[in-house]
Amino acid sequence: MECVQCGTQNPVKSKFCGECGAALKPPTVSPARAERRQLTVLFCDLVGSTVLSGLLDPEDLRELVRTYQQRCAEVIHRFDGHVAQFLGDGLLIYFGFPTAHEDDARRAVAAGLSILETMRLPIHGRQLQVRLGIHTGLVVVGEMGGLGHRENLALGETPNIAARVQGEATPDALVISEATQRLTQGFFNVEALGTRTLKGVAQPTPLYRVLAESGAVSRMDLPHAVALTPFMGRDAELKVIQRGFADAEQGHSRLVMLCGEPGIGKSRLLEVVKQQENVRSFEIFECQCSPMHSNSALYPLIEMLKRRLGWPGAANAEERLQRLEDEMGRTAPHPPDTIPLLASLLGLSYEHRYPRLELPPPEQRIRTLETLQAWWLKASELRPVLLILEDLHWADATTLELVRRLVEREMPVRMMGLLTFRPEFSLPWPSTAHMTELPLQPLPSSETECMVAYVAGRKRLPEEVQAQIVARAGGIPLFVEELTKAVLGTGLLEEKEQHYELKGPLPAGLLPTTVQDSLMARLDRLDTARPVAQLAATLGREFPYEVLQAVSNMDDASLRRELAWLIDAGLLVKQGVPPRVRYVFKHALIRDTAYESLLRKTRQQYHQQIMEALRTRFPEIAEAEPNVMAVHCEGAGLTWEAIRHWQRAAEQALSRAAFQEAVAHFEQALGLLKSLPDTLERAQKELPLQLSLGGALNCLRSWAHPSVNTTYERALQLAHQVDNFDRIAAIISGRWNFFVVLGEHAKAMESMQSLRALAEKTRDPFTHAVADGTAVAAHFLNGNHAQALEVALRSEKYVDLECDQLCIQEIGTSVFATLFGYSLLSAWHQGKLSLAQSRLKMVLEHHQKLDHAMTDCLSLWYGCYLGFCLRQPAQVQVHAEAMRRAAEKAKFPYWVSVSAIYLSWARSQQGPDVERALEQLLESFSVFQGFAPSSCTMGHFFNLVAHGLTTAGRLDQALRMAESGVRHGETAQWNFALPELWRQKGELVLMLADPSRTQEAEECLHRALQLARAHGAPMLELRASRSMSFMWKAQGKHREALELLEPACRALPDDSDALDLQEARALLAELRAAAGETALRSFRG
């Protein structure tokens, strides 16, 4: 960075010139380059200027207006604003151009209050009044004009709104818009003026009158700081700090220097430290540096003294001086010049009590520093002292000199120092033994996700939304909070009871207004590297050096120098070694800010250059990364080309089971299509995109997600529009899956009938396979097990590997897995155990040939289901663990929840920690219900959970679960699980051993038996018969039990080794023995 005073080049992190010591200011934006940026605009207007022009001579009026403008300009300069124009009796003022600050809106409001304050003093004997208005928003700012007169002006709605806001102000009032109020909330006391209709502004605008500063110094002081996210991720840092406190208590002074970028949580960590139990014995001296006072000597110490002495409550200067004396008297004795030195520092008159200081300024400066240091030393004799100095990077030179004195002198005193600063600040003193530098690192993804969940009100965000927030926030807590709030504020998330659902794609490069000024300020500190940063941002978050070089028109040495500057500034990170060097923007939001600052026309030119370079010079990148080509084609305005590349990118993602990326790419392509005229060509292009999107959504969000149905409905509409009936089968099948999982029985059966009619009409093998797959599933779910097996056996000739791969491509699921999976479950219900096991083996072998995550999960589900039916928890656990691995790898939350249910059940049956397993079972079942509360398989899971609770002895809880399952099954119409649910309910009522409910138990078992027979399910009939026979045996009804159980056992194959049949035969033997004894007694009698 070049010093404007002496011309010396200094490192980018330098705050002061190493040659002459002058403060270094970041370079301003080149006036010739127009940019998009967030700007806070202040309009100041002189009240009654027309009347004054009639009362004063023009020359006198000129002098009065010049003095008024000069006063205002001095205030603006103090807050580092920019007077864009002197408009006669008014001023147009920018905060955020030519140099942005992270608190531009706050600076603007503070400057407005200072203008009101300075205007209270008469000008040339006249009391003038002003009106002020402020608004914050997007502008394009750059050079305007011609014919020798050119100036930098901001264009857009923002300056116009600011002018209208100023028009709503009364004399001597400052009014701000809602946008500015959001950015400054808590730092100022305001009065709500209600909503006003501003001329030329479409929407009514809430306005606020600013009354005064609130006294808040940092974000931690704001009223809403009590609602901060939970503190996390800083345990190691806290331990280091606690060791420092322990040493300080023992009389060994310590200094801990906390280094971290903006928003990483330095202030939050200090707040937590202050609340620690062992810190309460320390006397705290807390100082806060300010970016608006970095050239005001000892500003943080002066403000600390004022707060400590309670100046806001002091009536006059005399009372303030008395409070200073009382404070110093507490730590007496002090040298006689202590009060004069500190009073002089505070701007208090003291000569009426103390001798006037007659020291040269340099000597008085040194004595003041010694006095402050001695004050803390004296205080440490009474209590341990904690000195906090925040934001050292904004400290003035004198404050830094005071800190240097503390650092360089290790004193045997009870003093602990906590100082915070940003990475761009270079410590101007060497390290010492009692000083520890502690860098704060970004939070890991797991803790970032916890923070997102907290900001979202503990409601689950869609996984792709959460992933985007985590990736873009980069582990910076402030970015996490503001990005989450910004996403929730887009209106694209629909709030449900326990989660949010995404209604449409999130806008790319979403930038919260609350952090835009801070990010832009970091870019404004760049010099010639700024255009390189903007060009690099057009390439993306990550980019290869050779591509940047190809489009930059810079020689190698110059480009590497500018990139080194960007690395030094903390914007880029370099990866790899030549010739494979890549650069990554340290934060996605920095990259987005640099990109969004470009004019749309410039962006388009850059994208065009990059696209051509990739196509001609880097074809391997263009081929391997179609999403990159899509971005640049879209940015270059080549819509059809972009759509083609987005589709390629989505198909590539699908081939890798990257469903989240696939959905995002499909939605990008569809979004571009919607921007084109509604023609037949557009509809033809859209149909395959919608169909493929439906399959990807099935995998990513579950079959029952509303977006699945919306997508297939649109695809069906398009198929009719373009007369393309080749795709109808896949579309109807997609809707069938949606209705089945959602529990819409009538609509699902209607879809099945439509598929059957279509298959008979077309005689197409693919359509036949899809239709039969839905028919087998429907028959099983309706409890028609004989028909399910019949259709499956008839349909196997249609389904080969090629047909199944087409099904996966078109509808996202395997028809082979559907046919063989549901039919193997029906085979078990019919007692055909060998057939069920052989078909399961075929399903598991087939899914391994496909390498398709959804089919993996579905196939393993059949294994878990059959394992539960066979009461083999070890088998269930094996399949469930494999399902969990596949689901977690593919990021299928639906299947993750399913695998968790089976794993918990299996563990509850095998131990050792049964109670923990049961809690996990209930929790995972609750999560599953959130995905599809009316799912067609819900009855099965009610049955499974009730069984787990029963075996653990939680009979009342198990009964409630079984009763809920019965109610669900009787209303949902998918009644395949009802026989088991009625049987479980009957058994549980019996187990409660309540004689008054015996009749109820028998009715439940009769209902189970009736349904099992109706379903053609001998295995379920056997179970219900055994339960009934067991009850009758206890009642002495041995003959009736025998007559019920014997035919049920005969209905199953003799060679079956099913556990149910073994138990039934054992009971049968007991019944025969008991019946024989009864008959013998009767004969003897």
The pLDDT of 656-672, averaged and rounded, is 89
pLDDT, residue 32, reads 44
Q: Is 35 helix (H, G, I), strand (E, B) or coil?
A: strand
pLDDT at 5 over 60: no
- Which DSSP category does 32 fall into? T
- Which DSSP category does 460 fall into? B
Which pLDDT band, with edges at 50, 70 and 90, does 6 fall under? low
CA–CA gap between residue 902 and residue 880 (Å, rounded): 6
Q: Report the DSSP beta bridge partners of residue 151.
A: 144
Among 290-294, 734-738, 1061-1065, the range of highest mean pLDDT = 1061-1065
Which pLDDT band, with edges at 50, 70 and 90, does 147 fall under? low
Average per-residue pLDDT for the chain: 88
Q: How many CA atoms lie less than 13 Å away from 590 in the CB half-sphere? A: 26
pLDDT at 545 over 60: yes
- CA dihedral (835, 838, 843, 849) positive or negative: negative
Q: Is 380 helix (H, G, I), strand (E, B) or coil?
A: helix
CA–CA gap between residue 451 and residue 473 (Å, rounded): 11
pLDDT, residue 125, reads 87
Q: How many CA atoms lie less than 13 Å away from 544 in the CB half-sphere? A: 14
User: What residue ranges do the domains of the chain occupy?
Assistant: 1-30, 35-217, 234-439, 445-510, 511-624
The pLDDT of 155-181, averaged and rounded, is 95
Q: Cis peptide leading into 1053, omega within 30 of 0?
A: no
The pLDDT of 894-904, averaged and rounded, is 94
CA–CA gap between residue 41 and residue 1084 (Å, rounded): 111
For 829-868, the pLDDT digits (tens) are: 999 999 999 999 999 998 888 888 888 999 999 999 999 9
As a whole-number percent, the residues of the chain with pLDDT over 90 amount to 56
Cα dihedral: 84, 87, 92, 93 (round 10): 60
Q: Report the DSSP beta bridge partners of residue 494.
A: 501
Which pLDDT band, with edges at 50, 70 and 90, does 671 fall under? very high
pLDDT, residue 114, reads 95
pLDDT at 478 over 70: yes
Element spanning 826, H or E: helix 815-829
Which residue, 331, 415, 406, 326, is CA-closest to 369?
406
Strands (E), 294-357: none
For 200-250, the pLDDT digits (tens) are: 888 899 999 999 998 887 776 666 544 567 888 888 999 999 999 999 999
pLDDT at 910 over 70: yes
Element spanning 206, H or E: strand 205-213
Which residue, 560, 557, 564, 562, is CA-closest to 531?
562
Whether the Cβ atoms of residue 623 and residue 648 lie closer than 8 Å to each other: no
Which residue, 311, 319, 364, 294, is CA-closest to 23?
294
CA–CA gap between residue 1044 and residue 1034 (Å, rounded): 15
CA–CA gap between residue 310 and residue 305 (Å, rounded): 8
The pLDDT of 679-705, averaged and rounded, is 87
Whether the Cβ atoms of residue 758 and residue 771 lie closer than 8 Å to each other: yes
Which residue, 898, 906, 847, is CA-closest to 871?
906
Among 304-318, 456-470, 663-677, the range of highest mean pLDDT = 663-677
CA–CA gap between residue 440 and residue 476 (Å, rounded): 10
Which pLDDT band, with edges at 50, 70 and 90, does 764 fall under? confident
> How far, CA to CA in Å, does 209 sit from each of 105, 112, 190, 991?
15, 11, 5, 72
Element spanning 152, H or E: strand 149-155
pLDDT, residue 278, reads 86
pLDDT at 453 over 80: yes
Whether the Cβ atoms of residue 694 and residue 734 lie closer than 8 Å to each other: yes
Tally the residues of the chain.
Answer: 1085
CA–CA gap between residue 544 and residue 51 (Å, rounded): 65
567-590 per-residue burial string, b: 16 or more CB within 10 A, e: under 16: bebbbbeeeeeeeeeebebbbbbb
The pLDDT of 425-432, averaged and rounded, is 87
CA–CA gap between residue 985 and residue 1006 (Å, rounded): 11
Least confidently predicted of 212-216, 734-738, 1051-1055: 1051-1055
Least confidently predicted of 597-601, 932-936, 955-959, 1064-1068: 932-936
pLDDT, residue 785, reads 94
Which pLDDT band, with edges at 50, 70 and 90, does 28 fall under? very low
CA–CA gap between residue 107 and residue 116 (Å, rounded): 14
pLDDT at 726 over 80: no
Residues in CB range of 957: below 8 A, 6 or more apart: 949
**Of the CATH numbers 3.30.70.1230, 3.40.50.1820, 3.30.479.30, 2.60.120.10, which one belongs to the domain with range 35-217?**
3.30.70.1230
Whether the Cβ atoms of residue 931 and residue 972 lie closer than 8 Å to each other: no
Share in percent of the chain as helix, strand, coil (round to 5): 60, 10, 25
Which residue, 782, 859, 776, 781, is CA-closest to 813?
859
CA–CA gap between residue 364 and residue 351 (Å, rounded): 16
pLDDT, residue 1056, reads 65
Structure tokens at 1037: 């009804």
pLDDT, residue 427, reads 87
CATH T-level fold of 234-439: Rossmann fold (3.40.50)
Strands (E), 913-961: none
pTM: 0.76
Which pLDDT band, with edges at 50, 70 and 90, does 137 fall under? very high
Whether the Cβ atoms of residue 350 and residue 321 lie closer than 8 Å to each other: yes
CA–CA gap between residue 752 and residue 755 (Å, rounded): 5
206: left (phi over 0), alpha (psi -120 to 50) or beta: beta
- Which DSSP category does 726 fall into? G
Residue 840 phi, psi (nearest 5): -65, -40
pLDDT, residue 372, reads 93
For 615-637, the pLDDT digits (tens) are: 999 999 999 999 999 999 999 99
Whether the Cβ atoms of residue 64 and residue 123 lie closer than 8 Å to each other: yes
DSSP tally for the chain: helices H, then strands E: 45, 18
End-to-end CA distance of the chain: 117
538 or 930, higher pLDDT: 538
- Which DSSP category does 139 fall into? E
- CA dihedral (305, 306, 311, 316) positive or negative: positive
Rg (CA), the chain: 38
Distance of CA 409 to the CA centre of its chain: 46
Which pLDDT band, with edges at 50, 70 and 90, does 1084 fall under? very low
**Of the CATH numbers 3.40.50.880, 1.10.10.10, 3.50.50.60, 1.10.260.40, which one belongs to the domain with range 511-624?**
1.10.10.10
For 380-428, the pLDDT digits (tens) are: 999 999 999 999 999 999 999 999 988 887 678 899 999 999 988 888 8
Which residue, 110, 143, 407, is CA-closest to 257?
407
CA–CA gap between residue 1071 and residue 1062 (Å, rounded): 14
CA–CA gap between residue 867 and residue 833 (Å, rounded): 12
Least confidently predicted of 480-489, 588-597, 725-734, 956-965: 725-734
Least confidently predicted of 164-173, 343-352, 512-521: 512-521
pLDDT at 668 over 50: yes
Whether the Cβ atoms of residue 474 and residue 905 lie closer than 8 Å to each other: no
Whether the Cβ atoms of residue 260 and residue 443 lie closer than 8 Å to each other: no
Q: Cis peptide leading into 58, omega within 30 of 0?
A: no
CA–CA gap between residue 96 and residue 117 (Å, rounded): 23
Instruction: Transcribe 339-351 into DSSP letters.
Output: HHHHHHHHT---T
Among 127-136, 284-293, 968-977, the range of highest mean pLDDT = 127-136
Residue 179 carries which side chain, given as an amino acid letter?
Answer: A
